[in-house]
Structure 1
Amino acid sequence: MSSVSGDNAILVLTNLPDTSSAEKLAELLISEHLAACINIQAPCTSMYKWQGKFEKVHEIPMIIKTTQSHYPSLQATILKHHPNELPEIICVTIADGLPAYLAWISEIDQKN
């Protein structure tokens, strides 16, 4: 495995209801130095049961690259600005990757 000094890089996954709100959230997270990079994906269809009712909605997935130390603030910011009552927020540890890219993600720690 690659070893990156400093914080561990993570991916945070969430979905927004439309491209405009996804772009606004991405700009906020990057400008606040809570994320190094955010991929706004093509629309997808999500199906789930919510409060006893079957739901089928179109959403915009986001892949957020950040560090473990930024996760609490990033999660709080998503919760504050997300329109859903219970938004999907999933954190995934990056086990390995291109060392230079992982180091670049960790550079957001130096910007605070």
Structure 2
Amino acid sequence: MVWKDDVRDVVVLYCTVPNLEVGSSVARVLVQEGLVACVNLIPGLQSIYRWKGEICEDSEVMLMMKTVRSRTEEIAKRVKSLHPYETPELVSLPVRGGLEGYLAWVREQACVGCLRSAQRD
């Protein structure tokens, strides 16, 4: 089988950052530490939002991160420590299906970090 439905463990996390420099820095740390398999940096976002009673509009870059659900708490802590925003946007979306080979690769890469964490304990 090539396509896998009813995937439960793979997730996509979205996070916005102020620019490509910050995005690249965050992405590299997350991949190097084995927390995520891959991060796509998507420039050119224009965000309009309310912050502390004011309407704000900013250019941002979206980070689209592929990982496994069991790593999301560690990722959230790491993103918060690296991110310049007071309250970073970080949301998780479930993956409902995908190519089996790709999903296996995501699991394998995200588990590299699991092994590193276990070795430190």
TM-score, normalised with respect to structure 2: 0.85
Query: 1:108 Cα deviation (Å)?
Result: 2.3
Pairwise CA RMSD? 1.8
- Deviations along 1:36-83, one digit per CA (max 9) or x if unpaired, are 011000221100111110000010011000001111101100011111
> For this pair of structures, how many residues does the alignment match?
111
Q: How many angstroms apart in 1 are the aligned matches of 2:83 and 2:89?
A: 10
Q: How many angstroms apart in 2 are the aligned matches of 1:55 and 1:74?
A: 27
Between the two proteins, what is the percent identity of the paired residues?
Answer: 25
Correspondence for 1:61 = 62
Correspondence for 1:2 = 4
User: Which is strand-richer, 1 or 2?
Assistant: 2
TM-score, normalised with respect to structure 1: 0.92
| Structure 1 residue ranges without an equivalent (≥5) | none
Correspondence for 1:24 = 25
Question: Structure 1 stretches (4+) deviating beyond 2 angstroms?
Answer: none
The within-5 A match list for 1:72-83 is: 72-83=73-84
Q: How many angstroms apart in 2 are the aligned matches of 1:3 and 1:97?
A: 7
| Structure 2 residue ranges without an equivalent (≥5) | 116-121
